[in-house]
Structure 1
């Protein structure tokens, strides 16, 4: 009884602050805790709904839909499921969801939650000790973020396969489906990530080098560099070159 009372008192003492949370198709204004604010901070001053995940609709005050170009004093519709899908190296996708506009059904934001317990235990114990999987709450993604970004920590790079990739304007680039080394015509070797928006083989594949990744958490955040645009993307290999480049650094073809 005493422990239950302390837990209830702790919940009452949680301070919620009104914050703007960005998504790929708009934003929401919601009351969040300090812990949720840390999850939403994926880099820079902006907070992202993708980092937090599911929020009680009673705490969402209003939202803005880019498609409607209109703000609504309501909560967007939330569709989510629990696939429990192994996305590689023992990382389990335990939940994924989409916030949608109630009027046009446009996507305001997407999120994914991963259970990284198996990965951490495998790397900590290189033996035949039986791995015991524990269920983690929605804040387990903070544990994954810290394990990836902490100095001297280790996480298999293949565990990034299947993760959604966003740019720093909160726009969805796609999902990582392949990682490898690539040597350019100039002899430079880079770690390259192949990204596409669905499993359709006919869709365009985007390649991003390791240096463009600014942060890794439950999503991968890539930098939108100043001075670059679609005009300097190579039509042959989709490599993004410098603004003043005349030839593709990756394949050597002349840029238009």
Structure 2
């Protein structure tokens, strides 16, 4: 009986010692257990990687844009015969309500010998109604090849939704003289889209002003697919 008691006691002591080792505890000189050592916790990794979201329009004092201007490293050009009198439309989607005062355009090059008249920027809503337009911007297209704002005749409150920035050019110019900043997307800009929701399109011919309404179902890519696409625009 004594032998069994001793064996059981020894087994209990061994198990207790193993438990103390596993919990990081050691016996101090006065018989009290020492404080367990702490282990630094490792922050959990989030599923979003580094969290970098890229530049936003607000980082450059703008309200919206067709894309990061840093990616607009190409130029787009067309002859006066090819694009003159045609309305070019660029779709932009607003995620929040804004007061729209200016349309920014990246003017890549100018033609000092150009003869321009009846050139406009404007804004159409998703139903094809003209909601704002600039005065004739011909003089501004003749100077300062930079990204710059073109003021609308009257700022307006734009609710969240789809809009189309319209550009109308008229006159004569050297094809590779008057050029706009763009990305290199080319004809792939409308991948997955059909009228009336094309991202880049053209409408009508022989226009000397932006019409009060356009039929977006008639969107065409006749000039878009020949190098007149991917222009960079922004809003302020």
Task: Report the TM range for the smaller structure's normalisation.
Answer: under 0.3
* Structure of higher CA gyration radius: 2
Q: Which has the higher contact order (CA 8 A, sep 6+)?
A: 2
